[in-house]
Amino acid sequence: MIKQCIYRIGVGILILFLFFTLSVVGSARCADADGDGILSVADARIALRIAVRLDIPTEEQQKDCDLDRDGAITPADAREILRLSVGFGRSDDSANSGMPDAEFIGLTDNYYKVYNKNGVTYIDSIIIANKTYALPDDYDTNGLVNECRDAFAALQTAAKKDGVNIYLNSGFRPYSEQKELYDEYVRDYGTDYADAYAARPGHSEHQTGLAIDVTNDTGYFTGSPEAQWLHANCVQYGFILRYPEGKSDKTGYSPEAWHIRFVGTEKAAKLNGSGLCLEEYYGITSFYFQQTDQPPILF
């Protein structure tokens, strides 16, 4: 009996490990033409040979090397792979500036570079916290990040000028607080329920110190004039609506009219202008390795 139990736990751990390994390797494999797990100049050379028809690509290479996804491996793809392999990054993004001491861990589905710095994931110089990418338990900004706090104050003042009253309902939430919240749900109602109503510790965007839940005088925010004002104006102040309508399968969360995330004015304009949510824009996932059926709601 015990033996069988240990065996089952062992198999479970093995499956989880394999799934995790494949996910990570999967993201790092793009453009890795020789499949050695490292993006190197050799990969660029292979792509170039294929581009000028000295080599016939395998199906895998065809997928990996076609960075611009135009259906053919061209010298442009080879050039892009070369840029990536020597650390210049995509030619059309500035994702690598300011991240000199971070570890390059792979490419997203949209070929953005993914960095890890002290356990924190960065893409396009933005901290990523969702169901796939967790923050370390000791990541603590000790309150809202200054830029975010100042931007929200400016946003609030602008709203007031338009006769709209908005307030900060919830800002920074440390790991320990999220853990208490989540554990309480698990204790009282079980894991499925907990996952439906609270982010797991480390996975809450509030731990970044860059997310704010906004409220109004009535406390009924969704669909309110205040929500409409917020959605129309937050971008100018560097915020994006993080969990929009119709994107639950991408963000991993039910729509939240009140949750905004500070990314700076330039990136907010870029992200918002694309009409895509953050996960879609960068080509990343948001799901727990043990997937739940219901997209959770985050308070």
Binding segment toward Zn ion, per CB under 5 A, in 51-59, 69-77, 155-163, 207-215: 207-215
> Whole-number minimum distance, CB 147 to Zn ion, in Å?
18
Q: Closer to Zn ion at the Cβ: 90 or 203?
A: 203
Q: Is 259 in the site for Zn ion (CB under 5 A)?
A: yes
> Whole-number minimum distance, CB 267 to Zn ion, in Å?
19
Catalytic residue list contains 256: yes
> Whole-number minimum distance, CB 206 to Zn ion, in Å?
6
Determine which helix (DSSP H) or strand (DSSP E) holds 211, and give its type and residue range: strand 211-215
Q: Is 80 in the site for Zn ion (CB under 5 A)?
A: no
Torsion of CA 111, 87, 92, 81, to 10 degrees: -60
Q: Closer to Zn ion at the Cβ: 64 or 213?
A: 213
Binding segment toward Zn ion, per CB under 5 A, in 62-70, 86-94, 193-201, 255-263: 255-263
Distance CA(188)–CA(225), nearest Å, equals: 36
What the block records as the tokens of 225 is 């004039």
CB–CB of 30/38 below 8 Å? no
Q: Closer to Zn ion at the Cβ: 27 or 215?
A: 215
Concatenated DSSP letters for 103-157? EEEEE-TT--EEEEETTEEEETTEEE-SSSSPPPTT---SSS-HHHHHHHHHHHH
Among 213, 239, 252, 295, binds Zn ion (CB under 5 A): 213
Q: Which residues of 204-225 are buried (b: 16+ CB within 10 A; e: fewer)?
A: bbbbbbbbbbbbbeeeebeebe
Q: Closer to Zn ion at the Cβ: 203 or 259?
A: 259
Number of residues lying near Zn ion (CB under 5 A): 2
Active site residue: 205, 226, 256, 279, which one?
A: 256
Q: Is 242 in the site for Zn ion (CB under 5 A)?
A: no
Q: Give me the residue whose beta carbon is nearest to Zn ion.
A: 259
CB atoms within 10 A of CB 181: 17
Q: Closer to Zn ion at the Cβ: 149 or 259?
A: 259
Binding segment toward Zn ion, per CB under 5 A, in 1-9, 39-47, 117-125, 259-267: 259-267
CB atoms within 10 A of CB 97: 9
Residue 56 gets which letter from DSSP? Answer: P
Residues with active-site annotation: 256
What does the binding site for Zn ion look like in residue numbers (CB under 5 A)? 213, 259
